[in-house]
Amino acid sequence: MTLNHVFIGDPAAKKLIIFLHEGLGSIAQWKAFPALVCEVTNSYGLVYDRRGYGKSHGSLVNRSINYLEQGAEELEEVIATLIPKNYDLFLYGHSDGGSIALIYSANHPSKITGLITEAAHVFVEDITVDGVRAALPYFHQGKFDGLKKYHGERFQEVFFAWNNIWLNPKFRNWNITEILHKITCPQLIIQGKNDQYGSLKQVDTITNQTTGKSTEFIPEKCNHAPHKENQKETLLQITQFLKDF
C-alpha cells in the first residue's frame, strides 16, 4: 500500500477502527484523537492520508465530481491490502470522510460491524455551498496557510480541490440518499448543532433512511468538528456506542 498510513492502539484488540479525514485533512490533523478513541474503547486503529493529501502521493487537480465514490473505492483497496480479516471492522469518518464511510458501508454492508460519522454529507445544501464560498477570501488573506504544515507545497491544491468541487454547479446534484437503505450496521451519527457546513437535515436523512439502528449525538454550541470542539463529550458517546461490540 503506497498511501501514507499508521496503525495505533492494541493489535490484539477485537475491534479495528479506520479513521477517514475531512476534505482538508490528513493523519496529522487528527492529532491525538484516534489514539484516544482506541485507548478508551480498547480498539486497534488505522489512520491514512487519502491520495493527494498529507504525505500520500497523488494529485487533486481536476478531480471528478464522483470523488467521494472514488474515496470509497480507495478505502476498499486499503482494507484489502492492510486489514487482516480477523477484526470486527468499524469506520469513523469526518465530513468528506463521513460521506466516504457511508458510501462504503452501503456498498459493502457485510464487511462493516459499526459506523460513526461526524458532519457527514449525503446531499448538497445551500449552507454547505455558502460556507465553502465564504472560505475563499479567507484563503487569499492567508488564513489557510497553516495547511502547508500538513500538505507541504500542495496545500493550495488541497484547498482549491475542496473549494472548487463544492462550488461546481455540476456537483449540486450529488446525492447518496438512494443507497442509504443498504447500510445495515449500527451507527453513531454526530453533528454539531451550529455546523457551518451542513444542517441537521443531514443527520435526519441518515438516521431515517439507513436500515441499521442509529444513535444521534448533536452537541450544543458546536460547529463542524465535534471531536475537537467537544472532545470529552464526543469520546463519551463513542465509548458508549462501542461498548456492546
How high is the pLDDT of residue 140? 96
How high is the pLDDT of residue 78? 97
116-131 pLDDT, tens digit each: 999 999 999 999 999 9
Per-residue pLDDT averaged across 184-209, rounded?
98
Radius of gyration, CA atoms only, the chain: 17
How high is the pLDDT of residue 144? 97
Percent of the chain with pLDDT over 70: 100
Percent of the chain with pLDDT over 90: 98
How high is the pLDDT of residue 29? 98
65-99 pLDDT, tens digit each: 999 999 999 999 999 999 988 999 999 999 999 99
How high is the pLDDT of residue 168? 97
Answer whether residue 2 shows pLDDT above 90.
Answer: no
| Helical ranges in the chain per DSSP H | 27-30, 33-41, 67-82, 96-107, 126-140, 148-151, 155-167, 201-209, 226-229, 231-242
Answer whether residue 1 shows pLDDT above 80.
Answer: no
Q: Are strands 88-94 and 214-217 parallel, antiparallel or unpaired?
A: unpaired
Superfamily designation of domain 5-242: Alpha/Beta hydrolase fold, catalytic domain (3.40.50.1820)
How far, CA to CA in Å, does 173 sit from each of 5, 44, 125, 145? Answer: 32, 37, 10, 31
Beta bridge partners of 7: 46
**Residue 189, CA atoms < 13 Å, CB-side half-sphere:** 25
Per-residue pLDDT averaged across 107-116, rounded?
98
Distance CA 200, CA 177 (A): 15
User: Is this prediction's pTM over 0.95?
Assistant: yes
How high is the pLDDT of residue 195? 97
pLDDT-based confidence at residue 26 (cuts at 50, 70, 90)? very high
Per-residue pLDDT averaged across 38-47, rounded?
97
